[in-house]
Amino acid sequence: MMNSLSGRFLILTVLFVMLAEVLIFVPSIARFREDYLQNRLERAQIASLALLANDMIDADLEEELLSNAGVFNVVLRRDAARQLILSAPMPGPIYATYDIRNASASVLIRDAMLRLLDPTPRMVRVIGQPQREGGLLIEITLNTGPMRAALIDYGLRILALSAVISVITAVMLFLAVRRLLVKPIKNVVGQMQSYADAPEDARRIITPQAGVRELFEAEQALESLETQLTQLLRQKARLAQLGGAVARISHDLRNILTSAQLFTDRIEMSKDPTVQRLAPKLVNSITRAVSLCESTLTFGKAEEPAPTLTDVNLAALVGDVSESERLAIGDHDIILIEDVPLSLTVRADPDQLYRAIANLVRNARQAIIGAGKPGTINISAQAIEDTWILRVSDTGPGLPAKAREHLFKPFQGGVRKGGTGLGLAIVAELVRGHGGTLELQRSDAEGTCFKICMPAGEVS
């Protein structure tokens, strides 16, 4: 229980209430001492008035008056004359004199604490103001023993009362905290445990209902977090299902493409110049498609396999991409420009690099066609020290804000209707596999430009 929130709150409440009572105890003791001394002064004044009324008081009566007043002698000053009214033998010398007529609170507290801590009985003189204008001042001499006993008795009663008040207050606060804080927190913890057992179940998402504002805000934040997590888990499940479907499709597509490869030999034997020119492109395209299908089937995770690095002539590779894209452009008014040094050789996986460049060029072509206006696609490359940079820019309409926000996230960065949003995510992953980066250099009304940076590597 002591390790619980309510248990610790109970202990702290008792301690704080006791501290408050101690702070009240000190001035209370000082006040009690002042009242005690004032009471002795009043009794002594009454006794002195009795003597003034009748001068013929015997010794026994005088002793009784002093005993009832609790003092040893009484001095009354009237009309500037100081007169010893009552007196009795004192057991010792006077230890100190206290004037309580105009004593400050700090002085009263100090004297009370010193008296409470000093167990030795002392003879002290006390000076006060007579009641009802009975004189200029009154002095009494008394023993501090009975006063200290009265202070201890009063202090113990104060402490006992403080303890009772502390316990009652602590219990009430304990019950209030359990109801207002501990119980709602336990409900939140229980809900979190329930949600952790089946995070895909949207019915287990918390519904904010706490009456305390801070807890209600915490439940709202937790609701938002659980909702996002459930959506992500569902998306991952759909991606896993999609991966299985892609694997099955790739299996059948590989078989179809393998059969298509068998026909390319006969196509190459054709005497038609156009067929002879296009046949190698067709063979390369089918080979790449078969390789991609095999990679999909052999790779069980949602990421690309590690690239197989070879020396690749970038100009020739870009030429292959451009040749395929020109066929897709057809009658559309799009100009495709290649600005790649013929001698630029890079260390990369040719198939993965081809796919990366082809995706960027295809996106640029689709953006220009979608705008319904003429346009230009520029593929440029350059080598800077140990890095080579390739840019694919277009004069299309630019990317919308939503697409830029989720640019490289699968299924979220699609721009055109019917698009999957996978193209740029694939390019980013392929470039990352080569130790490079893909970034959107600009995208506005004048067009879009993507930049690929890759380490040059060692070229043999």
Cα angle 126-131-136, degrees, rounded to a multiple of 5: 65
pLDDT bin (cut points 50, 70, 90) of residue 328 is: confident
Mean pLDDT value of segment 385-408: 86
pLDDT for the residue numbered 275: 64
Mean pLDDT value of segment 6-29: 78
pLDDT for the residue numbered 161: 83
**% of the chain with per-residue pLDDT over 70:** 76
Tell me which amino acid residue 224 is.
Answer: S
Distance, in Å, from the CA atom of 368 to the CA atom of 375, rounded to the nearest integer, reads: 6
- Residue-averaged pLDDT of the chain: 79
Specify whether the CB–CB gap between 210 and 241 falls below 8 A: no
Paired with 336 in beta bridges are 377
Question: How is the chain split among helix, strand and coil, in percent rounded to 5?
Answer: 60, 20, 25
Give the predicted TM-score (pTM) of the model.
0.43
User: CA 82: distance to chain centroid?
Assistant: 77
pLDDT bin (cut points 50, 70, 90) of residue 302 is: very low
Q: Is 90 exceeded by the pLDDT of residue 188?
A: no
pLDDT for the residue numbered 248: 57
Helix, strand, or coil here: 271?
coil
pLDDT for the residue numbered 245: 62
Distance, in Å, from the CA atom of 353 to the CA atom of 427, rounded to the nearest integer, reads: 9
pLDDT tens profile 217-271: 888 888 888 888 888 887 777 777 666 666 656 655 655 565 565 556 566 666 6
Specify whether the CB–CB gap between 451 and 376 falls below 8 A: no
Distance, in Å, from the CA atom of 213 to the CA atom of 187, rounded to the nearest integer, reads: 15
Phi and psi angles of residue 208, each rounded to the nearest 5 degrees, phi first:
-60, 125
In the chain, what are the domain boundaries?
5-171, 306-455
Q: Is 90 exceeded by the pLDDT of residue 336?
A: yes
- Minimum mean pLDDT among 2-6, 148-152, 203-207: which range? 2-6
Residue for token pair 């040719």:
350
Distance, in Å, from the CA atom of 453 to the CA atom of 346, rounded to the nearest integer, reads: 12
Tell me which amino acid residue 185 is.
Answer: I
Specify whether the CB–CB gap between 284 and 320 falls below 8 A: yes
Q: Where are the beta strands (DSSP E) in 134-215?
A: 137-143
pLDDT tens profile 62-114: 677 777 778 888 888 877 667 777 777 878 888 888 988 888 888 888 888 88
pLDDT bin (cut points 50, 70, 90) of residue 278 is: low
> For 306-455, which CATH class?
alpha beta
Q: Is 80 exceeded by the pLDDT of residue 414?
A: no
Distance, in Å, from the CA atom of 37 to the CA atom of 70, rounded to the nearest integer, reads: 10
